Structure 1
């Protein structure tokens, strides 16, 4: 059995995420306290109490990173450690913390800035994202190219999540036009996403440049574990690659399906544990390869189930 930890990305957040684990585990409380101190922000109130901030990108990103690393700490305490790590977009920061490449406190400050840069890069309402269901990537790519060439505006694939699910992003009118054309090409569904901007497109270049500056103040170390970057779907070879990849990641498509295939085919991963809120990555992996074992930990119940399953194996 070769275990990979995969970490949740933005969109997985919900009020109360990690709360039962926080209430019953000191190690979780320690991670929350560390994040609260680093940000001068009440992470408990942000994650557990009714508020509007949790869905604002600037706050969503540090919240998900905190919950993911708190759950990671419990797994470590129970003797569960990965041999490979990866994360969907924002989740890559959790993977880098786990690998020892980034310090948690620095990472939580960095992703709050990243969220702010991403929010400010494109004015609200200008950009959009839609999930395209049931079409091959070649068709989606061709239609996006056609729409861009027609002068409507930027629209490109932003997330290759799994076979038959690709998210497109760009200028709102261009995304809508591409969605209509893709429906005509046989897309089963076109689902507009509730997001604050056209993430993972060239429109995020201003955020990418600001992030590059912010990363100059962050210590980056040699990863102690193989980290699969979802910008290239390859293992990060050494620390010198990390900063350029994180800068590119903001405005490059997320190659999640390809990253999972790399973990299975090249690194021999047989068991995936999704660490953090939600089960989106588990559902993607199931569609990519049904032969692997897929587990997740987001609360006490799923923790117990995962520990039981691993003990049995």
Structure 2
């Protein structure tokens, strides 16, 4: 059985994430200590206590990366390996660390900057994102095009064929929603996110990221990584381009799962906080077995079911 590890994206965070395995596994504590040393603040305190910072993008992103890599290291230490890797947006950095393309300390510093750039490009309140349910993709794209006269609006996340997230400037998104209602869309859910990510509003962040990435060296990948921006296996010479464009480009998650199938993947293990990606996969293709590592219980279950 071929297995892919998939890594959580932003929005999966919650106070207390990682605490149980932090207390049980030395490699988790070591990973948190490495992040704290690089970033200059206590990562365990950020993740385990009630605080406002955990939901602020420049802190959320390194926190999720730290938790995800800590859990991946637990699996690796126990001898469990993947045949392919992917991550939802931010999770792509976790996938690249797991592939050997970049070391964890470099990645955690990089995503802290990425989060800051994204916040600067789209401060709180500058836009909105809405999940459109059970509506043809062509209809959603057409309604976004019609609303462009009022500003930026575009599909941002192709999560499953039944759930497409649109995002952009408030007036343009609201206009697109009106067009969608006229077209018969029944269920549209506003998302509690800090900015309209994966839309052209993030271009300033992409430009700053491009400059920062010039200083980063990537190594040969030991395990193939499927980019959720291109839904294709990443080649080493395009990593920087993909990471730059990724913040302002739509996430193509269900197409990435189709690529996994082409690679012969029959099982996924979601690594990191939450179970959003596992839920998506169950809606995309029920023939794929799904496991998770989020705490001691899911770790034990994944180990028990691995064969």
Please state how far the C-alpha of 1:181 moved relative to its aligned partner: 2.0
1:44-88 alpha-carbon deviations (Å, 9 max, x no partner):
000001110000000000000000000001111221110100000
> Structure 1 residue runs of 4+, over 6 Å off?
none
State the secondary structure of the residue aligned to 1:235. coil
State the secondary structure of the residue aligned to 2:251. coil
State the secondary structure of the residue aligned to 1:243. helix
Question: Aligned runs of 1:144-293 on 2, under 5 Å?
Answer: 144-148=144-148, 151-237=149-235, 239-264=236-261, 266-293=262-289
1:99-128 alpha-carbon deviations (Å, 9 max, x no partner):
011110010000010000000002321211
Q: Provide the rounded CA distance (Å) in 2 between the counterparts of 1:180 and 1:169.
A: 14
User: Number of aligned pairs?
Assistant: 307
C-alpha contact 1:103 1:219 (8 A) present in aligned 2: no
Corresponding position: 1:298 with 2:299: no
1:153-178 alpha-carbon deviations (Å, 9 max, x no partner):
11000000011100001001111221
Corresponding residue of 1:118 = 118
Q: Give the TM-score of the pair, scaled to structure 2.
A: 0.98
Please state how far the C-alpha of 1:15 moved relative to its aligned partner: 0.3
Identify which range, 117-126 or 27-36, moves more after superposition. 117-126
Identify which range, 32-41 or 181-190, moves more after superposition. 181-190
State the secondary structure of the residue aligned to 2:243. helix
Q: Give the TM-score of the pair, scaled to structure 1.
A: 0.96
Unpaired runs of 5+ in structure 1? none
State the secondary structure of the residue aligned to 1:38. helix
Q: Provide the rounded CA distance (Å) in 1 between the counterparts of 2:131 and 2:59.
A: 24
Please state how far the C-alpha of 1:299 moved relative to its aligned partner: 0.3
Corresponding residue of 1:19 = 19
Corresponding residue of 1:49 = 49
Unpaired runs of 5+ in structure 2? none
Corresponding position: 1:309 with 2:292: no
Corresponding residue of 1:80 = 80
Corresponding position: 1:33 with 2:33: yes
